[in-house]
Structure 1
Amino acid sequence: MVFYIIGLGLGDEKDISVKGLEIVKKCDEVYLEHYTSILGVQKEKLEELYGRQIIMADREMCEEGIDTILENLSKTPEKNVAFLVVGDPFCATTHSDVQLRAIQLGIKVEIVHNASIINAIGCTGMQVYRFGETISIPFFTEKWRPYSFYEKIKKNREMGLHTLCLLDIKVKERTDENILKGKKIYEPPRFMSCKTAVEQLLEAEEKIAGKAFSKETKCVGVARVGFSDQLIRSGQMSDFLNIEMGPPLHSFVICADELHPIEEDMYKFYNQNSQKKDE
């Protein structure tokens, strides 16, 4: 009886490690966590390579149904279950919670790591060890416009560190009205773009006026990291109001004021590519 939490990496079905693939092939049930991130391929591609039927684990299953899955596993000693996670298992607190729940039920848990946006962001040329606290930027609404990320960015930049901004993903979300009425009617999936992130960042700067950054601050936008059509572009923050990054997933880097010479060269390289594509 083992509960495996397996990282799939960032791109497609082939990014799973050899170790992870061997484990999946021998598991009785295989779940794919499908709300903290997305892969660039449909689950059928995974099923074809892995040789196993894959059960999609949406937000409700991860937050509410996981207890039933683990309780059933705890009563079946001969059973093995794989829980697949895009990226690395521990880049979302959801998965630490799942691990703890399994352990509390006496289930053996094994982890298989993989690449995540946290380390792959080095593709921007910004040195990974020069990043400060990672922040998340949620979609603003008419009634909810949180600026809690602002002070974290400011602190990072005061220490001469870059900031990785993880952009909001809305998958299988319900409106407040449908939640109150108990209706399981879901909104279409939404994925924040670099453009939307910048609009919200500049709004936060205008409202707080804490001088954490400005329209001229150097930034790097990335899209579909690990996919075959990965895109990296650099420019001043305001440039990203007009830079088209294409389909999701997007992430955004707010650079430190002073760049290492190699970082500066990489910034210029991606900036030149941005200008060429805009011509």
Structure 2
Amino acid sequence: MLNFIGLGLYDEKDISVKGLETIKNADKVYLEFYTSHLFGTDIKKMEQFYGKKIHVLKREDVEQHPDWIDEAKEKNIVFLTGGDSMVATTHVDLRIRAIDKGIKTSVIHGASIASAVCGLTGLQNYRFSKSTTIPFPYTTGRGKTIVSEVPYDTIKSNFEQGLHTLVYLDIDMDKGYMSINKGLEILQGIDKKRRENFINDKIAVGVARAGSYNPVIKADYISSLIDFEFGSPLHILAIPGPLHFIEAEALVKLADGPEQILD
């Protein structure tokens, strides 16, 4: 059996009781932290709390050479991820690979940032459309810097349809964890390059360290939010479409948003 268990958002105690019981009954426990990360804990604390040795996997161990799943043909194996394990396409692919090998699988869900953002900001879940990720710019072998404009197009398209966009921020082994400020800077750069004047007068909501006892939630016009200090990772960004009056009130009262959005 291969058990996919979502760990939740912030520390080792975010896991469900069902997830914890499954870990304690497992023969072996694997973990990947490259799609997300729990900043309120570390491997040592997790091992102490779960009572199991944790084997950390690299990206290539999950996406390219997941030979370790063969152990689940004979043993009870657990695969741990941050958030909810089935939100990432990579993990769906891994489950399909296991099924194709005749391995039984199970999923034990954890809290997801996709729903946590709605709870923390008051933005209504059903009004979110296609999400997007802002990747770090990269430099080609010829020295040209490439900036993906896909996130900008997704945000603009959603907005024009009256819908919100959840914007994930890149995690890179070398460049680290993208901040809300860096993500907004990239969007501003695209906006300036294209001369569309779409971004700066829009409201955005930044969320830092969701799942902790003291998350930071701040809404403001992008031109001002870009200078707000959100502190340490993880960060995520939401850019709403036109607001329902309850959403506008929520952003003022829950996310310290400007009262002008109530007009």
Q: TM-score, normalised by structure 1?
A: 0.86
Provide structure 1 residue ranges, at least 5 long, that are not aligned to the other structure. 172-186
User: How do 1:160-239 and structure 2 match up within 5 A?
Assistant: 160-171=162-173, 187=174, 190-210=176-196, 213-239=198-224
Q: Secondary structure at the match of 1:107?
A: coil
Alpha-carbon distance in structure 2 between the residues aligned to 1:9 and 1:239: 31
Quote the residue 1:69 is aligned against. Answer: 68
Give the secondary-structure state (helix, strand or coil) at the position aligned to 1:89. coil
Conserved? CA contact 1:233–1:274, under 8 Å = no
- Give, in whole Å, the separation in 2 of the partners of 1:210 and 1:96: 37
Q: Distance in 1 between matches of 2:195 and 2:95?
A: 41
Question: What residue is the counterpart of 2:87 in the other structure?
Answer: 91
**For residue 249 of structure 2, what is the aligned residue in structure 1?**
265
For residue 36 of structure 2, what is the aligned residue in structure 1? 37
Shift of 1:56: 1.0
Distance change >3 Å, CA 228–CA 264, structure 1 → 2: same
Q: Deviations over 1:48-96 (max 9, x none)?
A: 1111001111212212341x2022333xx2x110000110111111101
Letter in 1 for 2:7: L
Q: Does the aligned pair in 2 maintain the 1:219–1:235 contact within 8 Å?
A: yes
**Of the candidates 108, 127, 132, which is equivalent to residue 129 of structure 2?**
132
SS at match of 1:14: helix
Contact 2:4 2:107 (C-alpha < 8 Å) held by counterparts: yes
Assess if the C-alpha contact under 8 Å between 2:251 and 2:257 holds in 1. Answer: no
Equivalent in the alignment of 1:51:
51
Asked if the contact 1:5–1:110 (Cα under 8 Å) also holds between the matched residues in 2, the reply is yes
Task: List structure 1 segments (4+ residues) > 4 angstroms apart after TM superposition.
Answer: none
Contact 2:252 2:258 in 1 (8 A): no
Q: CA deviation at 1:207?
A: 2.2
Q: Which residue of 2 aligns with 1:111?
A: 107
Root-mean-square deviation (CA, aligned residues, Å) is 1.7
Match of 1:201, SS? Answer: helix
Shift of 1:269: 2.4
How far apart, CA to CA, are the structure 2 residues paired with 1:130 and 1:166?
Answer: 17
* CA shift for structure 1 position 273: 7.3
Aligned residues: 252
Q: For 2:196 and 2:6, how far apart are their aligned partners in 1? A: 39
2:122, 2:254 within 8 Å by CA — same for their partners in 1? no
